[in-house]
């Protein structure tokens, strides 16, 4: 009987969690989170983790598994997820992989090409440029040398921008050249469900989510994590802007507006990433029964 990994992907705030729980219940299965920020125990409000009721409704994996001080790459996730799936597929014919971190989804479904070892001193120089000239300078440099990756990447994450520039400066080849070169064979089939909706509705959902996060104490959460602000998980939208507010760089109103703006930009980039995959079947997030029917028609037992 065919074992199938069902990937539910799409932009932030579109409703992946609610849809995934409905699908998981329909097939009596479990969920692996591919949201790279939900791995971290200390980051709760700003990562929109499933609620305690949602976590009780369906078993979830890869949520609250790391501390923010622990480095964890897409390659680490590939290794750990494949090991877990081998066990889960002894009990389930279908398992769900859910999230908006495209590189982490890709790592499990396709595998990652080996990236070159960076030349000595390049990362230190790029980190110094980030401190001296700011992220916008590095973003423009990435746009110049690797426009394909610039279009799809989370360019508000300094770690991602610096890594791509580091690869380029070490090899003379764009970071995007090292992705999607070869697909590794997996011992399961992959079905991809993409969630999308009209832009205005998505942006309303994003703005509403940010307001709800602030009401639920995101500022206090950011304040409690201020000493870890330079750790990679916290160099991300929702935290970086509030750290700037706490530094006195912005008013709180401006910081919240920037979170909304940067989150909307990130959602657009997520859609750009996922839409490159022509195997993805797209649905509105409210099309629960349509998605379940579609999956039941597939040869997965």
3-state secondary structure of 255: helix
Residue 167 maps to a domain: yes
User: How high is the mean pLDDT of the chain?
Assistant: 93
Residues 128 and 154 occupy one common structural domain: yes
| CA–CA distance, 193 with 284 (Å, rounded to integer) | 10
Query: How far apart, in whole angstroms, are the C-alpha atoms of residue 67 and residue 293?
Result: 39
Regarding whether 256 and 138 lie in a shared domain, the answer is: no
Backbone torsions φ then ψ of 282, nearest 5 degrees: -100, 140
Q: Calculate the CA dihedral of residues 100, 106, 109, 111 and round it to 10 degrees.
A: -150
Q: Is 5 helix (H, G, I), strand (E, B) or coil?
A: strand
Looking at residue 301, its pLDDT comes to 44
Is 301 domain-assigned?
no
At 160 the pLDDT is 86
In a domain, 144, yes or no: yes
Q: Which whole number is the average pLDDT over 261-278? A: 93
Measured between alpha carbons, how far is 44 from 222 in angstroms, rounded to an integer?
A: 10
Q: Quick check: is 117 in a domain?
A: no
- If asked whether residues 155 and 290 sit together in one domain, one would say no
Assign residue 138 the CATH number of its domain. 1.10.20.140
Cα–Cα nearest to 274, from 102, 78, 97: 102
β-partners of residue 97 are 7, 32
Same domain flag for 198 and 167: no
Confidence grade of residue 179 (pLDDT, cut at 50, 70, 90):
low
Domain identity same for 215 and 266? yes
Residue 142 lies in a domain: yes
Please list, in sequence order, all residues whose beta carbon lies within 8 angstroms of the beta carbon of residue 163, skipping any fewer than 6 positions away. 175
- Domain stops at, among 178, 201, 223: 178
Pair (172, 223) in one structural domain:
no
- Domain hosting residue 136, numbered range: 122-178
Q: Model confidence over 56-75: pLDDT tens digits?
A: 999 999 999 999 999 898 88
Identify any residues that bridge with 283 across adjacent strands, giving them in sequence order: 195
Whether residue 8 contacts residue 96, with contact meaning beta carbons closer than 8 Å, is answered with yes
Would the pLDDT of 299 be above 80?
Answer: no
List the beta bridge partners of residue 5: 95, 190
Instruction: Specify the pLDDT at position 148.
Output: 87
Query: What would you report as the CA-atom Rg of the chain, rounded to the nearest whole angstrom?
Result: 19
Domain membership flag for residue 211: yes
| Per-residue model confidence as pLDDT tens digits over 74-105 | 889 999 999 999 999 999 999 999 999 998 99
Place of tokens 């992907």: 9
Domain final residue, candidates 134, 161, 178 = 178
Q: What are phi and psi of 64, to 5 degrees?
A: 60, 45
How many domains is the chain partitioned into structurally?
2
Asked whether residue 212 is assigned to any structural domain, the reply reads yes
Q: Give yes or no: residues 214 and 89 share one domain.
A: yes
Instruction: Give Cα separations from 141 to 138, 155, 215 (angstroms).
Output: 5, 11, 37
Q: Categorize the per-residue pLDDT at 36 as very low, low, confident or very high, splitting at 50, 70 and 90.
A: very high
Query: Long-range contacts: 129-138, Cβ < 8 Å, 24+?
Result: 130/158, 130/162, 135/161, 138/162, 138/165
Measured distance CA(46)–CA(124) in Å, rounded: 29
So what's the pLDDT on residue 300? 53
- Asked if residue 43 and residue 165 are part of one domain, the reply reads no
192 vs 151, residue with greater confidence: 192
d(C-alpha 211, C-alpha 32), whole Å: 27
* Structure confidence at residue 2 as a pLDDT band (50, 70, 90): confident
pLDDT score of 180 more than 60: no
Q: What pLDDT score was predicted for residue 282?
A: 98
């Amino acid at each position: 009987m065919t074992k199938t990994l069902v990937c539910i992907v799409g932009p932030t705030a579109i409703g992946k969690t609610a849809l995934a729980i409905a699908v998981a219940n329909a097939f009596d299965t479990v969920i692996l989170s591919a949201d790279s920020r939900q791995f971290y125990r200390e980051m709760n409000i700003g990562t929109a983790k499933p609620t305690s009721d949602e976590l009780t409704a369906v078993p979830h994996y890869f949520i609250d598994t790391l501390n923010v001080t622990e480095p964890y790459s897409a390659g680490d996730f590939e290794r750990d997820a494949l090991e877990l799936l081998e066990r889960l597929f002894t009990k389930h014919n279908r398992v769900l992989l859910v999230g908006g971190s495209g590189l982490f989804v890709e790592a499990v479904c396709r595998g990652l090409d080996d990236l070159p070892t960076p030349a000595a001193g390049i990362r230190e120089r790029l980190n110094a440029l980030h401190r001296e000239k700011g992220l916008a300078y590095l973003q423009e440099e990435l746009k110049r040398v690797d426009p394909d990756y610039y279009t799809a990447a989370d360019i508000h994450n300094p770690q991602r921008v610096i890594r791509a520039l580091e690869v380029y400066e070490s090899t003379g080849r764009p970071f995007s050249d090292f992705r999607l070169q070869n697909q590794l064979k997996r011992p399961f089939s992959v079905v991809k469900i993409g969630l999308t909706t009209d832009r205005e509705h998505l942006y309303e959902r994003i703005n509403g989510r940010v307001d709800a996060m602030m009401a639920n104490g995101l500022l206090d959460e950011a304040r409690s994590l201020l000493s870890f602000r330079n750790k990679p998980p916290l160099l991300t939208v929702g935290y970086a802007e509030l750290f700037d507010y706490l530094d006195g760089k912005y008013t709180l109103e401006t910081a919240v507006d920037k979170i909304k703006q940067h989150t909307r930009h990130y959602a657009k980039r997520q859609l750009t990433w996922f839409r490159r995959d022509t195997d993805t079947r797209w649905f509105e997030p409210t099309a629960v029964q349509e998605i379940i029917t579609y999956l039941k028609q597939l040869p997965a037992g």
